[in-house]
């Protein structure tokens, strides 16, 4: 049976229901893992069935990280982890610490010289947040049903690698019933080899290291971990060509289902301890705006699930004219230019199709190194 929503219209209904879904705590027995879409960086939120929360990394410094968390109903973080002190992982951690109560702050104990790192650690000290240096062997009880084990780094840190900060990334293994999640930060091959030597076990979900860079996710590592699901947190059209083609080929060879934030938006993996469900295009609710799911397919699925959850009698009306129609907005640029335009700008019309790059949001364009063109002054209100 079709259901009509005369006052909100379907887009409004979807937005409101998505907002409600995000704010809802995990259902009984469900553990939620949100791969927040921060562009070219990492931010992962874990929620236990009891409502405990762990944040692994905190965006790029260009993210409304606090809004992302609050939009998901988070009012405090029980454990905040910086896997390593690169700006694309700790960019918004200081803002999180200064805005939300944080129970314990953990990092890999390897200092960096950057302003991002220094400001963050000054905040940890000023705010009196208990600090813990990650060390393989540590065990964290995450509510009643889940646990997190620290697999890396060891007390003796790796030295002389391509990137010692990456190589000493905090590696965490989350277990919930039969399900397992492996979060590897930006660990590279040297670390993968040592994890294998230490006897890494199989794990259902792999947060792919280093945004899918070819420096990580080697064949032998994948053979040991045998993930069925891989998630890549990566920005669209990034300058580093992440994820690497070779990494994607390896995933394919190993039969891993790959999910990516650049093409699917924010991801959510739901664990009931036995099975796993992956949702994509998870809407972002911030204090200022609601971004609907990224694809018509996702909208349809979410709408159906949400309508059912709300005890409605069936899926929304698929005959609604606005349903499934690509939304207007977004931005365009030439890959040869530093600036981006509104799509209807006369200069945008002159971009050769072979050089045309599209961005859904103002932030995407900026994160990928573009700046707004003076001719049409694009603004975030024109986000898709």
Partner 1 sequence: MIVVDRIEGEVAVLEIEGATVEIPAAALPAGAGEGSVLALTLDAETQGDVTALARERLERLKARGPKKSGTLVL
Applying CB under 8 A, the residues found at the interface with partner 1 are 48, 52, 54, 78-79, 103-104, 109, 111-113, 117-118, 121-122, 124-125, 130-133, 135, 137-143, 338, 371
Which residue, 151 or 248, is less far from partner 1 as judged by CB?
151
Which residue, 139 or 350, is less far from partner 1 as judged by CB?
139
Which residue, 16 or 339, is less far from partner 1 as judged by CB?
339
Which residue, 18 or 180, is less far from partner 1 as judged by CB?
180
Nearest distance from C-beta of residue 16 to partner 1, angstroms? 32
Nearest distance from C-beta of residue 78 to partner 1, angstroms? 4
Nearest distance from C-beta of residue 283 to partner 1, angstroms? 27
Nearest distance from C-beta of residue 372 to partner 1, angstroms? 11
Nearest distance from C-beta of residue 338 to partner 1, angstroms? 7
Nearest distance from C-beta of residue 348 to partner 1, angstroms? 20
Phi, psi angle pair for 21, to nearest 5°:
-60, -45
Q: Which residues contact 39 (CB under 8 A, 6 or more apart)?
A: 60, 62, 63, 235, 236, 238, 363, 364, 367, 368
CA–CA dist 122, 107 (Å, integer) = 14
Which residue, 143 or 218, is less far from partner 1 as judged by CB?
143
Cis peptide before 25 (omega within 30 of 0): no
Which residue, 93 or 302, is less far from partner 1 as judged by CB?
93
Given a contact cutoff of 8 angstroms between Cβ atoms, the answer to whether 40 and 211 are in contact is yes
Burial state string for 295-309 with b = 16 or more CB within 10 A and e = fewer than 16: beebbbbbbeebbee
Nearest distance from C-beta of residue 108 to partner 1, angstroms? 11
Which residue, 30 or 118, is less far from partner 1 as judged by CB?
118
Burial class of residue 259 in the structure, from the number of CB atoms within 10 Å of its CB (0-12 exposed, 13-18 middle, 19+ buried): buried
Nearest distance from C-beta of residue 300 to partner 1, angstroms? 36
Nearest distance from C-beta of residue 147 to partner 1, angstroms? 9
Which residue, 164 or 305, is less far from partner 1 as judged by CB?
164
Which residue, 79 or 306, is less far from partner 1 as judged by CB?
79
């Amino acid at each position: 049976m079709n259901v009509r929503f005369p006052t909100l219209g379907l887009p409004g209904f979807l937005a409101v229901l998505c907002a409600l879904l995000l704010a809802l705590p995990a259902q009984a027995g469900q553990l939620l893992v949100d791969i927040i879409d921060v562009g070219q960086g990492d931010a992962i939120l874990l929620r236990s069935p009891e409502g405990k929360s762990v944040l692994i990394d905190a965006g790029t410094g260009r993210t409304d990280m606090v809004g992302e968390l609050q939009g998901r109903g988070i009012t405090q973080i029980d454990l905040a982890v910086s896997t390593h002190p690169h700006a694309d992982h700790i960019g918004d951690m200081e803002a999180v610490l200064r805005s939300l109560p944080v129970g314990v702050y953990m990092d890999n104990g390897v200092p960096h010289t950057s302003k991002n790192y220094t400001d963050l650690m000054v905040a940890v000290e000023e705010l009196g947040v208990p600090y813990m240096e990650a060390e393989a062997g540590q065990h964290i009880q995450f509510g009643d049903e889940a646990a997190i084990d620290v697999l890396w780094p060891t007390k003796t840190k790796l030295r002389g690698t391509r990137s010692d900060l990456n190589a000493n990334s905090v590696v965490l293994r989350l277990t919930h019933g039969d399900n397992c999640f492996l979060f590897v930060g930006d660990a590279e091959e040297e670390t993968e080899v040592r994890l294998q030597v230490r006897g890494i076990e199989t794990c259902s979900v792999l947060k792919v290291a280093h945004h899918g860079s070819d420096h990580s996710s080697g064949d032998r590592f994948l053979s040991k971990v045998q993930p069925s699901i891989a998630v890549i947190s990566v920005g669209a059209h990034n300058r580093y060509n992440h994820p690497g083609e070779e990494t994607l080929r390896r995933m394919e060879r190993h039969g891993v289902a790959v999910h990516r934030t650049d093409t699917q938006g924010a991801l959510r993996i739901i664990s009931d301890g036995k099975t796993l469900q992956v949702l994509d295009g998870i809407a972002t609710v911030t204090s200022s705006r609601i971004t609907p799911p990224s694809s018509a397919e996702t909208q349809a699925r979410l709408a159906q699930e949400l309508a059912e959850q709300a005890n409605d009698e069936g899926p929304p009306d698929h005959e609604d004219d606005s349903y499934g129609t690509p939304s207007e907005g977004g931005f365009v640029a030439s890959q040869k230019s530093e600036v981006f335009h509104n799509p209807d700008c006369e200069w945008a019309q002159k971009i050769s199709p072979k050089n045309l790059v599209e961005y859904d949001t103002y932030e995407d364009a900026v994160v990928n190194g573009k700046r707004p063109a003076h001719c049409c002054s694009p603004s975030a209100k024109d986000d898709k």
